[in-house]
Structures are given as structure tokens and as C-alpha cells.
């Protein structure tokens, strides 16, 4: 039996692949900006550019104003997503890019348990097996670092920050497909930037520093990549079930490994590869059980 997506899902599948690739490039750009500017200034200036780009698209297309239910979802995802992105980018500035992406893959497995608490869903035996695989994958990645002697307090805090980001994102996953069904991609992309900017902008008088002009191209590039990627993924997830698109998400590891090696001279260890295989296997098992909940990993990276 062919593993290719059905014809009706072929275009959303291809669009999602492109969205993940662009998001991976954005992650690499943001890692560099975070190292140079700090995570807050990298985020706030990228969001400011994203606000302008999104505003031009939203108002230029004469998009209708969001409904109250849609606006509520935009606000929740924008505010939580801002913290999620901050913790993720702070973390990948301290660990290899591929390793950080691999650790973030555990988010859908956490979602299974949040769905049980929030939505009253039953946790199946397959979901428990998936969780064990995911936790085992994280343990393998960490054991590889500790066993290789590449471990210190800063790396430990980076790993913890990424896992906190995954926990926050697992809640966003519960809202992801619901939001895609009631709002257009342009609307989603614009208002996530709006509410993320508002939530982080409150600290601007104390933390914001105007970056030098040499950082402007990378800030604009990262904002454009994030906006276009979110458009592509929102469009794809509104037209195909998550179970069809979930495999696309794990191509992010390949892109992260390539970009980490090319841009930051980061090697991918055997432990990271093995741990990623275990986590992805768990996610695929979970996705087959909970296709509507176990959605994608990258979309809310704002």
C-alpha cells in the first residue's frame, strides 16, 4: 500500500512541507539574533516587523474583522505563544539547533494528557506507549550529552527552557485546528503578531534596546519567514486532517541539522538521532489515535 497522501491532500501536504522548511530557516535566523541581541530584543523587534507585514496583508486584502470566538482564540494563542516562543528561542541559543527541535517534538505527547484533563478524553493504551517512547527519546538525548561530557548549567537551563516551551505549545495544539477552521490564514498570522506584540510590548520600556542597522536585514527576514510560514501552515491545516500532515513536521529535524551544521558548526550526535527516532515514533503512534488533537509542532512559533 502506498504511503503517499491521497490526491485531495497532495497540495496541502506540499504547502505544509514548504511552511516547515521556511520555519526552520526562521529558527536558525532567530538563534543568531538571540545570541547577539538577547531573546527579548530578538523577539520584540521581529514581532514589530511582523506586525507591519501582517497589517499590510490583512488590511490590504480588506479582510473582514474577526468574530468574537476567533478573536478570543487569537488572543489566547498570541499571548501564550509569545512566552512559548521566548522560552524556545532562549533554549536553542544554548543547545544545538537540531537537538532543540528534537526536544520540542515531545509537545504532541504532552497534549494527549492535557486533552484528557481539558476535553475529558480517554487516554488509550497506544497513547501510553507513545508517551513512554517520547520520554525515552528525551532521556536518550540527555544521556548522550551527559555521557559525552558536554553538559553544564547553561545547557541544562536551555534544555529545561525548551521543554517548558513544549509544555506551553501542547496547550496551543488543542486550539490549533479549531482556530484554522474559523479564521483565514492572513487573519491568524496578523492577530497572533498583534497579541504577541501587546503581551511582550508591556516590558519594552524596561528591556527594549534599539538594535544596530546591521541586524535589520536578519530581523526583517525572520519576520517575513515567520509570517509566510504561518500563512502556509494555517492554509494547509484548514484543508487536510492533522494525521495526513503530521509526518511533515518531522522534516524540521533534517532542516535543523543542516542549518545547524552550516551556520553554527554544530554536529548531530548519534544519541540525538536515536532520541529523535523514539520521539517521532511516539508522535506517529499518538497521531493515529488522536488525529484532531495531535497537530503540528512549528505553527505557533510566531
pLDDT digits (tens, 9 = 90+) for 163-203: 999 888 877 766 766 777 788 888 888 898 899 999 999 99
Q: What is the mean pLDDT of residues 147-158?
A: 77
Instruction: Please check whether residue 272 is in contact with residue 102, taking contact to mean a CB–CB distance below 8 angstroms.
Output: yes
pLDDT digits (tens, 9 = 90+) for 211-249: 999 999 999 999 999 888 888 887 887 777 666 676 777
Where do runs of H (alpha helix) occur along the chain?
7-37, 39-60, 68-92, 97-104, 107-118, 125-147, 153-182, 185-201, 204-207, 216-237, 242-249, 251-264, 270-289
Half-sphere exposure of 118 (CA within 13 A, CB side): 13
C-alpha dihedral over 269, 274, 277, 278, to 10 degrees? Answer: -130
Kindly list the distances between the CA atom of residue 290 and the CA atoms of 135, 158, 172, 199, in Å, as whole numbers in the listed order: 18, 30, 15, 31
Label residue 298 by pLDDT band (50, 70, 90).
very low
Specify the DSSP element, H or E, that contains 38. Answer: none
pLDDT digits (tens, 9 = 90+) for 257-277: 999 999 999 888 888 888 888
Q: How far apart are CA 254 and CA 259, in angstroms?
A: 9
What is the pTM for the complete model shown? Answer: 0.81
pLDDT at 51 over 80: yes
Amino acid at each position: 500500500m502506498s504511503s503517499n497522501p491521497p490526491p485531495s491532500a497532495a497540495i496541502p501536504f506540499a504547502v505544509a512541507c514548504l511552511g516547515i522548511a521556511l520555519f526552520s530557516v526562521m529558527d536558525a535566523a532567530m538563534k543568531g539574533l538571540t545570541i547577539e541581541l538577547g531573546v527579548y530584543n530578538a523577539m520584540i523587534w521581529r514581532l514589530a516587523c511582523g506586525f507591519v507585514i501582517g497589517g499590510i496583508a490583512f488590511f490590504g486584502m480588506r479582510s473582514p474583522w474577526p468574530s468574537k470566538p476567533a478573536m478570543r482564540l487569537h488572543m489566547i494563542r498570541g499571548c501564550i505563544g509569545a512566552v512559548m516562543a521566548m522560552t524556545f528561542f532562549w533554549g536553542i541559543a544554548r543547545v544545538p539547533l537540531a537537538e532543540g527541535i528534537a526536544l520540542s517534538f515531545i509537545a504532541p505527547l504532552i497534549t494527549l494528557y492535557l486533552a484528557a484533563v481539558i476535553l475529558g478524553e480517554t487516554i488509550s493504551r497506544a497513547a501510553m506507549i507513545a508517551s513512554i517512547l517520547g520520554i525515552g527519546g528525551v532521556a536518550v538525548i540527555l544521556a548522550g550529552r551527559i555521557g559525552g561530557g558536554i553538559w553544564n548549567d547553561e545547557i541544562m537551563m536551555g534544555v529545561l527552557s525548551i521543554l517548558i516551551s513544549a509544555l506551553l505549545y501542547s496547550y496551543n495544539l488543542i486550539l490549533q485546528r479549531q482556530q484554522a477552521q474559523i479564521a483565514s490564514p492572513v487573519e491568524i498570522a496578523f492577530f497572533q503578531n498583534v497579541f504577541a506584540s501587546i503581551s511582550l510590548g508591556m516590558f519594552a520600556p524596561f528591556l527594549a534596546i534599539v538594535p544596530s542597522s546591521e541586524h535589520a536585514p536578519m530581523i526583517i527576514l525572520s519576520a517575513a519567514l515567520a509570517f509566510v510560514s504561518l500563512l502556509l501552515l494555517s492554509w494547509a491545516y484548514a484543508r487536510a486532517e492533522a494525521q495526513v500532515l503530521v509526518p511533515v513536521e518531522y522534516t524540521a529535524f533534517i532542516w535543523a541539522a543542516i542549518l545547524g551544521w552550516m551556520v553554527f558548526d554544530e554536529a548531530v550526535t548519534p544519541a540525538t538521532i536515536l532520541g529523535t527516532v523514539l520521539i517521532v515514533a511516539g508522535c506517529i503512534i499518538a497521531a493515529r489515535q488522536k488525529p484532531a488533537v495531535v497537530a503540528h509542532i512549528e505553527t505557533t512559533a510566531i
